[in-house]
A = this chain, B = another copy of it.
Amino acid sequence: MKEIKGGVCAAEGFTAGGIRCGIKKGNSQKKDLALIYSLKPCIVSAMFTTNKVQAACIQVSKENISDRKLRAVIVNSGNANACTGDEGLAAAKRMAHLASNVLEVDAKDVAVASTGVIGVPLPIEVIEKNINALKASLRDDETGNADALEAIMTTDTRKKEIAVEIEIDGKAVRIGAMAKGSGMIHPNMATMLCFITTDAAIDAAALEKSLNSAVKHSFNRLTVDGDTSTNDMVLIMANGEAGNKILTESDVDFSTFNKALEYVCIYLTRLMARDGEGATKLVTVTVTGASDDFIAEKLAKSAASSSLVKTACFGADANWGRVLCAMGYAGVDFNAEKTTVNFKSKAGTIKVCQDGKSISFSEEKAKEILSEEEIEICISLEDGRGSAEVWGCDLTYDYVKINGDYRS
């Protein structure tokens, strides 16, 4: 497997574009409308938010992918089109219709995604006015990918994209992806917007299985602030342009595809954690030696989600007691008296807790380790062979600043 350029346009037969149509407020010249389009029919699989309050786009997209076929996704930023009632639903349907019209495909073959402020009517008229310009922005190269990526961002400060190439059945197969997301992110669902393209030929069941597994080990192990959005969506389109024999679950090459897709998803997950709203640090929490993977994941998530652990990471304070405390309210059993905690970064590794108790360590060295931009909290138990890796970030002044007056 090698990393390649081009994001969602890296896979053969995919185009993307993005423009500014005026949904984002103020004098901003930021793009806010994106389109990803496959020249050929695609098999699709997707995962959506588990929030009971679901944006209109989620309802429309769920329906439109139900036949597992898709050609395009239209995405706006600056407005979530959530809590907008029947008018919002009509607007989301209209978005799909407008895109299908200019692309000359069936409206049922277009998925819709929105991200931004909740409860404000979506100005569908500016989308309508700019739909031809959106189509005209489609490119099959890095430019198209970059334009679309810019148009799906909200409070993101970093671009999140990746593409990889693998070989399946003697053919070069590409997987490309873009994601947005920095706040309102919490495990247990498709937790932001992520659009993945691949030119692999793969059957619908295999694609779904591969996506579910990759999301379970990546986006569902990401936590920024404990809030689960009304709009989140991870969607993969596969158009078969690589020309490989159609991949099924029983093929030996299926695991090659799985690994590549998981690599792509974990890569984007780490970028999102690193770009958590206001975050200065990527915090990885690993648990090993748990009774099973489920318990390991629960313990790691609890530590990564704790506001007290997160603020300690911000302050580079080796307050390991908060880590044990957060594990203690995770709601699962573990042997606290056999818990070891190490803090790790490129500046080194330091053991701060053994057998659930304090051990003497250099506060100075610990501070140095925790002052790095990527830090790891390594928890080891003696309960079994379960393990999990979870990603989060620190909690900072800027998180409060960004969210204290988001709508203005």
Residues of A whose CB lies within 8 Å of any CB of B are 50-54, 80, 82-85, 88, 117-121, 183-184, 186, 225-230, 305-308, 311-312, 314-315, 317-322, 324-330, 333-334, 336-337, 353, 355-358, 395-397, 399-401, 403-408
Q: A227-B325, A319-B406, A337-B85 are in contact. Are A353 and B119 (CB under 8 A)?
A: yes
**A224 nearest in chain B by CB position:** B307
Specify which chain B residues have a CB less than 8 angstroms from the CB of A306 in the assembled complex.
226-227
Specify which chain B residues have a CB less than 8 angstroms from the CB of A320 in the assembled complex.
119
Specify which chain B residues have a CB less than 8 angstroms from the CB of A326 in the assembled complex.
227
Set B80, B315, B317: member contacting A321, Cβ < 8 A: B80
Q: Is the CB of B183 within 8 A of A308?
A: yes
A-B contact pairs, 19 of them (CB 8 A): A51-B328, A53-B327, A84-B357, A85-B337, A88-B357, A186-B329, A226-B305, A227-B306, A227-B307, A228-B329, A229-B325, A307-B307, A307-B399, A308-B403, A311-B404, A312-B403, A319-B406, A395-B400, A397-B397
Specify which chain B residues have a CB less than 8 angstroms from the CB of A82 in the assembled complex.
321, 324-325
Set B85, B230, B314, B405: member contacting A404, Cβ < 8 A: B314
Q: Is the CB of B406 within 8 A of A397?
A: no
Q: How far is the CA of A228 from the CA of B308 in the complex (A)?
A: 10
Q: Is the CB of A357 within 8 A of B311?
A: no
Q: How far is the CA of A407 from the CA of B352 in the complex (A)?
A: 14
Q: Whole-angstrom distance from the CB of A12 to the nearest CB of chain B? A: 38
Give 7 new A-B contacts, CB below 8 A, not counting A51-B329, A83-B324, A183-B308.
A53-B325, A82-B325, A117-B321, A186-B329, A227-B307, A319-B406, A397-B397
Q: Is the CB of A225 within 8 A of B308?
A: yes
Residue of A51, A226, A307, A319 with most partner-chain B CB within 10 A: A307
Q: A225-B307, A353-B119, A406-B317 are in contact. Are A325 and B51 (CB under 8 A)?
A: yes
**A404 nearest in chain B by CB position:** B315
**A357 nearest in chain B by CB position:** B85
Q: Whole-angstrom distance from the CB of A227 to the nearest CB of chain B? A: 5
Q: Whole-angstrom distance from the CB of A231 to the nearest CB of chain B? A: 9
Specify which chain B residues have a CB less than 8 angstroms from the CB of A54 in the assembled complex.
328
**A329 nearest in chain B by CB position:** B228
Q: Whole-angstrom distance from the CB of A79 to the nearest CB of chain B? A: 11
Q: How far is the CA of A190 from the CA of B174 in the complex (A)?
A: 54
**A183 nearest in chain B by CB position:** B308
Q: Whole-angstrom distance from the CB of A367 to the nearest CB of chain B? A: 10
Q: Whole-angstrom distance from the CB of A11 to the nearest CB of chain B? A: 33
Q: A229-B325, A317-B408 are in contact. Are A358 and B397 (CB under 8 A)?
A: no
Q: Is the CB of A324 within 8 A of B227?
A: no
Specify which chain B residues have a CB less than 8 angstroms from the CB of A311 in the assembled complex.
399-400, 403-404
Set B119, B322, B397, B401: member contacting A118, Cβ < 8 A: B322
Q: Is the CB of A53 within 8 A of B336?
A: yes
Specify which chain B residues have a CB less than 8 angstroms from the CB of A322 in the assembled complex.
118, 227
Residue of A320, A325, A334, A353 with most partner-chain B CB within 10 A: A325
Q: Which 10 A-B pairs have the closest CB atoms?
A: A118-B321, A315-B404, A53-B328, A311-B403, A51-B328, A119-B321, A315-B405, A228-B329, A119-B358, A85-B357
Q: Whole-angstrom distance from the CB of A115 to the nearest CB of chain B? A: 12
Q: Whole-angstrom distance from the CB of A108 to the nearest CB of chain B? A: 25
Specify which chain B residues have a CB less than 8 angstroms from the CB of A80 in the assembled complex.
321
Q: Is the CB of B353 within 8 A of A83?
A: yes
Q: How far is the CA of A405 from the CA of B314 in the complex (A)?
A: 9
Specify which chain B residues have a CB less than 8 angstroms from the CB of A406 in the assembled complex.
312, 315, 317, 319
Q: How far is the CA of A320 from the CA of B406 in the complex (A)?
A: 12
Q: Is the CB of B328 within 8 A of A230?
A: yes
